[in-house]
Amino acid sequence: MSIAAFCRMILLIFLLKSISYSRLFVYAYVAPISINGKQFVNSINNEPFYLKGVDYQPGGSSEVNEDRDPLSDPLACARDIVLFQDLGINTIRIYSINPDLNHDKCMSMLAIAGIYVILDVNSPLQNQHLNRYEPWTTYNSVYLEHIFRIIEQFSHYNNTLGFFAGNEVINDKISAQLSPPYVKSVIGDMKTYIKRHSPRVIPVGYSAADDLNYRVPLSSYLECAEDRSTSLSVDFYGVNSYQWCGRQTMETSGYNQLVDAYKNYTKPVFFSEFGCNKVLPRRFDEVRALFSEEMFTTFSGGLVYEFSQESNNYGLVSISSDGTAQLLGDFDSLKKHYSTTILPDSKQVSIAISKDHKIQVDKNETPLCRAKYDNLNINGKVAKGLGSSLIKSGVDVEKGKFIQLSDSDLDCTLKIVDKQGNPWQGQSKIKKVNDLRPYYGKTKDEEENIGKEKSRKKNNGNSISPSIWSSAVLLLANFVYQSFLI
Ligand SMILES: *[C@@H]1O[C@H](CO)[C@@H](O)[C@H](O)[C@H]1NC(C)=O
Ligand SMILES: *[C@@H]1O[C@H](CO)[C@@H](O)[C@H](O)[C@H]1NC(C)=O
């Protein structure tokens, strides 16, 4: 045998071992995330989905305007997605978006890179958020139209993971007296709009300041069902937590109590912001805690605040006005944890849940609303029906769609430099994880049937499944191709 032939053979054996037909074709597809009980799940294979991500608002919250927002500049997206992949994340949160801009290219790039987006529907601009002290002045049809337009546009992307109806709207004594029923109304309006107009059910949640006065009451109030209807209940709950600073443990940080507070929660809970910066440089040891058995039964992961360096000093990366991104020390420190974190699968989760006696697994039903919640006033009267004509007719906005990207669209053309200012040695283009062709594979039910079919055939003797034939054809094609190369 010639050396070339020998190499080909080794290559073939290697390919045979590494190529899994189903991975290559069936799952190279952007699976929408849905919710099953306390968990986010991949809607195709039903495996749990854990958020491992960062908050992304380059330029700060003021950087949304008529001309730009975090997903309007494909070159900036390419640069940052390359860094997201290097960090090892699967989700970003974006705080403000302008639905008059086109986001197809950035969303397609994120989808190809295997990254989901969770989106706040509010912005600091006028008519685009609730005023927490006078919510009645801002809860109106102009505001509702804004949030419906964002929903309408982003519902069409499979990598839209969910929408936040609000971020820390209730954060002090006065807002806790005035705002709670308004937040619930907004959640209800969003869910109704999605039900009527979106191609799939996209979950709606709330992102809360972790204040002990409201931790339990607010999460319970937003979760509860009114008159047995869950139409105003959050689908998931985000907690902004900054209590693990420097070297800590579950106990010294108070994470153990935080976890206990949400053990019985019937919806997914995760950190919508974390990463205390009181002790610098940040170590991010809390990542290990977050994905440990003690926490992953209750928390579905989290998002580090935040990707870009702004005046509040939480950045992983500093972005200058010419578009150069410089990695900061915290980038490496977070990468060390994220890139080595293995997310739990369904088997690990069910074993861990069965061992945890504090979890009430069968309490899956949404609790009914009580008359009173500590430290909150839930009796304010909210005007009803302000969104009904918009919900009926739908709102006018360009609907998002995935677009075909050329190979050069995946190149990072803006400069990335390391801590010392030298050119960064990492990848220079986005790694393709997903394909944006429509999915023609099998749904989970179909797969189960195929599974049954297979085992039936196995028992009956020998029958080669179509996927093995396809793999064989693939290998043969590859063999011919390689023969030409060598
Ligand atoms: C969870 O439910 C159990 C049983 O109903 C109860 O004993 C426990 O106190 C609850 N935990 C919280 C944090 O509400
Ligand atoms: C998006 O998800 C839907 C429903 O699961 C699927 O039919 C469609 O093919 C997906 N699109 C892409 C581009 O993955």
Tokens found for residue 305: 């605040």
- Residue position matching structure tokens 């290998």: 475
Greatest alpha-carbon span in the chain: 85
The atom number, within ligand 2, closest to the CA of 200 reads 4
Contact 319, 331 (CB under 8 A): no
The pLDDT > 90 percentage for the chain reads 78
User: Does residue 257 have its Cβ closer than 6 Å to ligand 1?
Assistant: no
pLDDT (0 to 100) of residue 357: 84
- Residue 47 annotated to the active site: no
User: Does residue 402 have its Cβ closer than 6 Å to ligand 2?
Assistant: yes
User: Does residue 114 have its Cβ closer than 6 Å to ligand 2?
Assistant: no
Tokens found for residue 75: 């070159």
Judged against a pLDDT cut of 60, whether residue 446 lies above it is answered with no
The mean pLDDT of 96-106, rounded to a whole number, is 97
Judged against a pLDDT cut of 70, whether residue 481 lies above it is answered with no
Tokens found for residue 187: 């959640």
Helix (H, G, I), strand (E, B) or coil at 426: coil
User: Does residue 263 have its Cβ closer than 6 Å to ligand 1?
Assistant: yes
pLDDT (0 to 100) of residue 321: 94
User: Does residue 32 have its Cβ closer than 6 Å to ligand 2?
Assistant: yes
The mean pLDDT of 80-100, rounded to a whole number, is 98
Residue 103 backbone class (left: φ over 0; alpha: ψ -120 to 50; beta: rest) = alpha
CA separation for the pair 326, 3 (Å, rounded): 46
β-pairing, 269-274 vs 236-241, is parallel
- Residue 168 annotated to the active site: yes
Q: Can you give the pTM of this predicted structure?
A: 0.86
Distance 437 CA to ligand 2 centre (A): 8
Q: How confident is the model at residue 437 (pLDDT cuts 50, 70, 90)?
A: confident
The atom number, within ligand 2, closest to the CA of 402 reads 13
Judged against a pLDDT cut of 80, whether residue 201 lies above it is answered with yes
Q: Between 465 and 401, whose confidence is greater? A: 401
pLDDT (0 to 100) of residue 343: 97
Judged against a pLDDT cut of 60, whether residue 14 lies above it is answered with no
Give the residue whose CA is nearest to atom 6 of ligand 2: 439
Ligand nearest, relative to CA of residue 443: 2
pLDDT (0 to 100) of residue 232: 97
Ligand nearest, relative to CA of residue 440: 2
Task: Count Cβ atoms below 10 Å from residue 278 Cβ, excluding itself.
Answer: 8
Judged against a pLDDT cut of 50, whether residue 396 lies above it is answered with yes
Give the residue whose CA is nearest to atom 12 of ligand 2: 438
Which of 292-301, 417-426, 448-457 is predicted least confidently?
448-457
Judged against a pLDDT cut of 70, whether residue 347 lies above it is answered with yes
The mean pLDDT of 233-260, rounded to a whole number, is 98
pLDDT by residue (tens digit) across 276-304?
A: 999 999 999 999 999 999 999 999 999 99
* Continuous segment of H or E residues that includes residue 310: none
Contact 295, 260 (CB under 8 A): no
Distance 236 CA to ligand 2 centre (A): 23
Judged against a pLDDT cut of 90, whether residue 12 lies above it is answered with no
Contact 122, 129 (CB under 8 A): yes
pLDDT (0 to 100) of residue 28: 58
Mutate to test the pocket of ligand 1, among 360, 361, 365 (most ligand atoms within 8 A of CB): 360
The mean pLDDT of 179-183, rounded to a whole number, is 98
pLDDT (0 to 100) of residue 112: 96
Q: How confident is the model at residue 365 (pLDDT cuts 50, 70, 90)?
A: confident
The mean pLDDT of 411-426, rounded to a whole number, is 97
Distance 360 CA to ligand 1 centre (A): 8
